[in-house]
Amino acid sequence: MKRVAVYPGTFDPITLGHFDVIKASAAIFDEVVIGLLRNPHKKPMFSEEERLEMIRELIKESGLSNVRPIVFQGLTIELVRQENAVAIIRGLRLMTEYEAELNISFNNRVLGRNVYTIFIAPRQEHIHISSSVVRELIEFRHLDELAQYLPPSVLESVRRIIIS
């Protein structure tokens, strides 16, 4: 049986921290599905198509053949069922995030009896990175600072989108 994991998020944009979690997940599971969340209640900085393309390009350049993105709307547990996944991957940067994530994981465990939530921390040098900070840097045009937050292909996409 193939061990599939789902890594859900808005990835607005996808960061070096996200990429750390993806690489670790790809080493653990046979297949990792990056679930790009379509959330009608959020207004992302980058369009769904732009975020999906950033993820695809990052996967391509990294050579992670067991990782694929998919766009979804709804409960994560629905995506887990659709993909026959055994685990939900969650990135954790700070202990303050743990309590909320743990509560969500309990609910997912109730809804999907055989699904586990796996918490993966990014590398120490990326622990401070958040998409919110990245969006703020972009909003105020501090584009030269982004290289320490974004993978090269994502940085290139962001620059191209912002300049056009």
Please pick, among 25, 51, 105, 131, the residue that the annotation labels catalytic. 131
157 is catalytic: no
Minimal CA–CA distance to 112: which of 1, 2, 4?
4
Would you say 93 is a known binding-site residue?
Answer: yes
Is 2 among the residues known to form the active site?
Answer: no
Q: Which of 93, 109, 123, 135 is catalytic?
A: 93
Residue 42 among the catalytic residues: yes
**164 carries a ligand binding annotation:** no
135 classed as catalytic: no
Q: Is 47 marked within a binding site?
A: no
CA 47 to each of CA 54, 123, 127: distance values in angstroms, whole numbers, following the listed order: 11, 28, 25
10 marked among binding-site residues = yes
Is residue 11 annotated as involved in ligand binding?
yes
Residues in contact with 69: Cβ distance below 8 Å, sequence separation at least 6, in sequence order: 33, 34, 35, 36, 52, 55, 56, 59
15 in a known ligand binding site:
no
Which is the catalytic residue, given 18, 25, 51, 153?
18
Dump strand ranges (E) for 29-159: 31-37, 67-72, 87-91, 116-120
Q: Is 48 annotated as a binding residue?
A: no
Catalogue the active-site residues. Answer: 18, 42, 93, 131
Annotated binding-site residue numbers for ATP: 10-11, 18, 91-93, 101, 126-132
